[in-house]
């Protein structure tokens, strides 16, 4: 039987107005004041998965292996994925008006790709 599908790699987009934070009923998700990254307090988290449902980019998930909600925290400010990417396809750059606009444009495109994937 032939099946259609779309594979889209997703990760936490470190949203300015993060839906996951707003959705958490126990305030277990917050933005780190100094790094600006989304962080999860696993002691407070009840694993309700409201954050998973709320994220429009599929960037926060339940890790079946560890039984914890996970999201990219940029490795505390120095993302290893960018550091070790041999082709430099992954780049970590500081926030500037240009990079923020690129992120906004990318998020719109990602949202559209995810919408199309759901239709399949």
Q: Summarize pLDDT for 12-71 with one digit per residue, the tens.
A: 888 888 999 999 999 999 999 888 889 999 999 999 999 999 998 889 999 999 999 999
pLDDT at residue 119 tops 90: no
Residue 105 domain-assigned (yes or no): yes
- Give yes or no for a contact between 40 and 69, defined as CB atoms under 8 angstroms apart: yes
In this predicted model, what pLDDT tens digit does every residue of 69-110 receive, in sequence order?
999 988 877 889 889 999 988 888 777 888 878 878 888 888
Closest CA to 17 of 27, 31, 35, 28: 31
Residue 6 domain-assigned (yes or no): no
Query: What integer pLDDT is reported at residue 100 of this predicted model?
Result: 78
Q: Which two tokens stand for residue 22?
A: 């707003």
Residue 14 domain-assigned (yes or no): no
Residue 2 domain-assigned (yes or no): no
Residue 59 domain-assigned (yes or no): yes
Query: What integer pLDDT is reported at residue 2 of this predicted model?
Result: 72
Residue 38 domain-assigned (yes or no): yes
**Domain holding 105: CATH number?**
3.30.70.20
Residue 12 domain-assigned (yes or no): no
Query: What integer pLDDT is reported at residue 8 of this predicted model?
Result: 65
Residue 4 domain-assigned (yes or no): no
Question: In total, how many domains does the chain have?
Answer: 1
Domain that holds residue 55: 19-119
pTM: 0.75
Query: What integer pLDDT is reported at residue 77 of this predicted model?
Result: 78
């Amino acid at each position: 039987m032939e099946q259609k599908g779309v594979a889209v790699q997703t990760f936490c987009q470190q949203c300015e107005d993060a839906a996951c934070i707003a959705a958490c009923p126990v305030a277990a998700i917050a933005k780190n004041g100094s790094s600006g990254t989304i962080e999860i307090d696993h002691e407070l988290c009840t694993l309700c998965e409201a954050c998973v449902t709320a994220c429009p980019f599929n960037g926060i998930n339940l890790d079946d292996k560890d039984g914890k909600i996970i999201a990219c925290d940029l490795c505390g400010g120095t993302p290893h994925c960018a550091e070790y990417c041999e082709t430099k396809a992954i780049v970590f750059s500081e926030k500037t008006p240009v990079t923020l606009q690129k992120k906004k444009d990318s998020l719109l495109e990602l949202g559209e790709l995810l919408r199309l994937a759901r239709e399949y």
